[in-house]
Amino acid sequence: MKRHFNLEDQGDIKDYLGINVEQMANGDLKLTQPHLIKQIVDELKLPLRSAGRSTPANSTKILQREEHAPSFDQRFNYRRAVGQLNFLEKSTRPDIA
41 found inside a domain: yes
Question: What is the H or E stretch that residue 71 is in?
Answer: none
Is residue 29 assigned to a domain? no
In a domain, residue 85? The reply is yes
Give a yes or no: residue 60 inside a domain: no
Q: 24-49: per-residue pLDDT in tens?
A: 999 998 888 889 889 998 888 888 77
| Number of domains into which the chain is organized | 1
- Owning domain of residue 43: 34-48+76-97
Q: Within a domain: residue 96?
A: yes
Sign of CA dihedral 22, 25, 29, 30: negative
Residue 82 lies in a domain: yes
What's 62's DSSP letter?
P
Give the DSSP letter of residue 56.
Answer: S
pTM of the full structure: 0.61
The full length of the chain comes to 97
Segments in the chain below pLDDT 70: 1-2, 53, 55-56
